[in-house]
Amino acid sequence: MENGKITNLIKSKIETIAEDASFRKFYRLKFNKDSRIIVFAKKEKYQNLIAYSAVNKFLRANKILAPKLYEYNLKKGIIVIEDFGDLSFYNVLTNKKNKFLIYKKLIDLLIKIQKIKPKSKLKNIINKSHIVNKYSNKYLHKESDLFFNWYLPSFLNKKINKKIKIRAKKILSKLYNKLNFSNSYFVHRDYHAQNLMKIGNKVGVIDSQDALIGHPAYDLVSLVDDVRIKTSNKLKNQICNYYLKKSKKIHKIKLKKFLEDFNILSVQRSLKIIGIFSRLFKRDKKNKYLKFIPYTWKLLETRMRSEIFLELRKILDHNIPKKFRNKILT
C-alpha cells in the first residue's frame, strides 16, 4: 500500500459476493492462503467508505471485533478490509433448534457495545472528523416517511396518500416525543443476525456505517424483531428479559417505560423497513426483499396492540386492510 492506495492485485483471485441492500458491491480477494474483502461504492462514497472505516476503527479501539481496514483508493471508491468469512448468525440461527443460547451471545455483545461511551466525532481514513449524529426525531421521521413515500402509493392515489401521511406524521410525532431516554448510546442501527458474523467462538460486527448516538432499545429491536428470521413471541420475550436483566447496571431501566419505548421504536423500524424494501423494488429493481414485507406487517401489528397506537392502527386498518398486507408488490 502506498499512501493508502491499492497497489498490487495482479496475482490475486477475485470472487464476486452477493450484493446487499445498498449501492455497494463486494468482492473476495484471495491470495496465498489469505483473503480480503474489496468494498466498491459507486454512489455515496463518503457514507459507504469513509464513515464505515471510521466507525469500524472506533469499535476496534473499544475491543469490538469489526473489520480492519487494509487499503483504500477513495477516488475509485474502493476500500479493502478484513474478511470475516461467510458464516453469519443468520445462518447459525436458521439451523439451530435452541436459538435462545445463540441470542444470549448476541445480547452479551450488544450490552458490551452499549457500555462504550459514544463519540460525536470519529477520525476517518483521511484524518478528518466523521460526525456521528444523534438519533433525533428528525431521523425517526425521515425513516418512517419511507413507508408513505414508497409503499402506500401502491395502494392509494397521490391525493389520499398525502392526507394520510400528514395525519400519520402528527400521530407519530406524539409517539416519538414519548421516548424517554436521552440519545446517549452507540446505536449500530442495523444490529441483526445477518450483520453479525461467527468467527470461531467470537462475534464480528459488520455494516456499521449508519451508526448514530441514540436510544438503547433500538438495536435490541433490530435483533428481536428481525424481519428475516421468524421467531415466536415466547422467544422474543426470553431475549428481551435476558437483556433487561443483564443491562440494569448500564441504564437504570424502568421496565414499563422501556417496553413502551421498545414498541414505539419497533413500529418505527417496521414502517421504515417496509418503505425501504418497497424502494429497493421500485427504484433499484431489487425484488428479493419483497418476501419479507408480510412478516414485517405481522411484527407491526403485534407491536401496535397497545392503546398508545390506537390512532395509528385505525389509519392503517382503514387504508390497508389486512387482506392486502400479504400481497407482494408488482
Q: Residue 311 belongs to a domain with what CATH number?
A: 3.90.1200.10
Contact indicator for 14, 28 with CB cutoff of 8 Å? yes
Shared domain for 125 and 209, answered yes or no, is: yes
Shared domain for 108 and 186, answered yes or no, is: yes
Domain assignment present for residue 281? The answer is: yes
Domain final residue, candidates 23, 52, 82: 82
Shared domain for 77 and 118, answered yes or no, is: no
Shared domain for 44 and 190, answered yes or no, is: no
Which alpha helices (DSSP H) does 75-224 contain, by range? 89-94, 99-114, 137-146, 158-178, 217-224
pLDDT-derived band at 3, boundaries 50, 70, 90:
very low
- pTM score: 0.92
d(CA 261, CA 239): 16
List pLDDT tens digits, range 254-313.
888 999 999 999 999 999 999 999 999 999 999 999 999 999 999 999 999 999 999 999
Shared domain for 64 and 161, answered yes or no, is: no
Which pLDDT belongs to residue 2? 42
Helical (H) or strand (E) element with 264: helix 255-282
Shared domain for 214 and 117, answered yes or no, is: yes
d(CA 54, CA 130): 7
Domain assignment present for residue 39? The answer is: yes
Which pLDDT belongs to residue 46? 60
Which pLDDT belongs to residue 139? 95
pLDDT-derived band at 317, boundaries 50, 70, 90:
very high
Domain assignment present for residue 329? The answer is: no
Shared domain for 66 and 184, answered yes or no, is: no
List pLDDT tens digits, range 15-36.
888 777 677 889 999 988 889 9
Domain tally, the chain: 2
Domain assignment present for residue 273? The answer is: yes
Shared domain for 223 and 137, answered yes or no, is: yes
The whole domain housing 18 covers: 13-82
Contact indicator for 52, 67 with CB cutoff of 8 Å? no
Domain assignment present for residue 303? The answer is: yes
Q: Looking at the predicted structure, is the pLDDT value of residue 50 above 50? A: yes
List pLDDT tens digits, range 103-119.
999 999 999 999 999 99
